Amino acid sequence: MLILGLDPSLSCTGWGLIRAEGPRIAHVANGQVPTDAKAPMAVRLAVLQAALSEVIVVHQPDRAAAEEIFLNKNPQSTLKLAQARGAVLAACGIAGLTVNEHAARLVKKAVVGTGSADKRQIEAMLKMLLPGAPVSGADAADALAVAIADAHLTRTL
């Protein structure tokens, strides 16, 4: 099964694709979709939706997974995240993909073993779980973690 992990963000959305067969996982691809901070919001959202649609067409995942939205202290940041997430989820919806949603703490716990893991711990665990996989950056690493967590969590549900 091909699982597309998503880490939506208006500034740079990460995506990561893994193959899960029972307890075994393997890296397939990953990347990041940056947007121009000076571009109008509608353009930035269209860039995200189009780029993720292309990833879906090229790789044909069986399902997708994303972190549940969390509230920032800054309401503007939360709103921008929600809009980016909407564009990313729309790409999945247009393609007919099921999207599983997981809390950030649950993703960290599933990948690292603790819900309070930091980015360094996640990246270190990714190196162990996906040896030799070239990771495009921090946002792609987070997306791969979401995909891995989804593979583990849906096996146990």
Catalytic residues: 7, 67, 139
Would you say 67 is a known binding-site residue?
yes
Q: Is 100 helix (H, G, I), strand (E, B) or coil?
A: strand
Q: Give one DSSP letter per residue of 117-132, joined into a string.
A: --HHHHHHHHHHHSTT
Strands (E), 68-112: 99-102
Would you say 123 is a known binding-site residue?
no
* Residue 131, both tokens: 């040896």
CB atoms within 10 A of CB 73: 6
Would you say 62 is a known binding-site residue?
no
Q: Is 135 helix (H, G, I), strand (E, B) or coil?
A: coil
List, as residue ranges, the binding site for Mg(2+): 7, 67, 139
List, as residue ranges, the binding site: 7, 67, 139
